[in-house]
Amino acid sequence: MFSSSLRQRSEWSPALALFAQSPSRWRETNLLGHDLEFTVQYSASSSLTYRMVLISAKQVGTDDATRRIKQLPKHGTDKKAVVLLMQGHDAMSSFMRLQIQMLEHERISTIPVSSAGQFIDHLDALRRPSTIGMNGLAQIDRHAVQKDLLRHCVSGTPLSVQQVDVLLGSVRHLRELANMVQTREGQETICRLLGDADGRSLIEHFTNGPKFT
């Protein structure tokens, strides 16, 4: 099922057209607090229900998007995700803000997609019983996006690709890095890996948030 409220958001118009053409059966309805809902039956005794909130770069941090994200855990479904449409000149900075916001929602996946059409293709794959969980969908461009994101988690000149590779050799994701920032030992490790100046700049970024100019 997809929410009728998507018709009020022009950036998702391509998705609405593809829903009608999709081999999966998508039914339009009124959904409260989220935009997509479907159940995948993997076997006679095993199924997963998915609920997703769809937002664009310009909606990150708005009261409406924040409210809908906070409502997702209340549904108690098996799988939940926030899908971010990575379009527009501020898409990367919006993704940075969303990642920081999602640190307090550990059970909700964050899925960046480059186009609405690409997202529908992956949804169709996810709805096939042979697909295992949401892990495959959640990995759409995630590694490349995370590396680029980490490069800009400092003030001034971005980190080098080599510095990011060293950092990702010690942490698996941004949530783990954010936890390191909270301890003296973690901060010392970051400064050792990146150098004192870049390390302190990254710590400042995670402590006080990104500085947008």
If one counts the domains in the chain, the total is 2
Residues 123 and 31 reside in one and the same domain: yes
Percent of the chain with pLDDT over 90: 17
The answer to whether position 198 is within a domain reads yes
Parent domain of 203 = 144-208
Residues 15 and 68 reside in one and the same domain: yes
Residues 153 and 76 reside in one and the same domain: no
Nearest to 54 by CA among 139, 102, 111, 124: 111
Q: Is the pLDDT assigned to residue 12 strictly greater than 50?
A: yes
Rounded distance, CA 35 to CA 99, Å?
20
* Confidence at residue 96, expressed as pLDDT on a 0 to 100 scale: 77
Residues 72 and 93 reside in one and the same domain: yes
Residues 53 and 157 reside in one and the same domain: no
Residues 80 and 110 reside in one and the same domain: yes
Nearest to 190 by CA among 178, 65, 141, 5: 178
Per-residue confidence band for 65, with pLDDT thresholds at 50, 70 and 90: very high
* Confidence at residue 213, expressed as pLDDT on a 0 to 100 scale: 44
| pLDDT tens, position by position, 83-130 | 998 887 677 778 878 888 887 887 888 888 878 777 777 777 777 655
Containing H/E element for 173? none
Q: What CATH number does the domain containing 60 carry?
A: 3.40.50.10130
- First-to-last alpha carbon distance for the chain, in angstroms, is 40
Tokens 């229900």 correspond to what residue?
A: 49
| pLDDT tens, position by position, 19-39 | 877 766 788 888 888 998 888
Residues 112 and 71 reside in one and the same domain: yes
Rounded distance, CA 55 to CA 212, Å?
20
Domain termination site, one of 83, 110, 140: 140
The answer to whether position 213 is within a domain reads no
Per-residue confidence band for 63, with pLDDT thresholds at 50, 70 and 90: very high
Residues 46 and 30 reside in one and the same domain: yes
Rounded distance, CA 70 to CA 67, Å?
5
| pLDDT tens, position by position, 136-159 | 555 544 566 667 677 877 777 888
The answer to whether position 34 is within a domain reads yes
Q: What is the DSSP letter of 208?
A: H
Domain termination site, one of 85, 109, 140: 140
Tokens 């971010």 correspond to what residue?
A: 84
Domain termination site, one of 92, 109, 140: 140
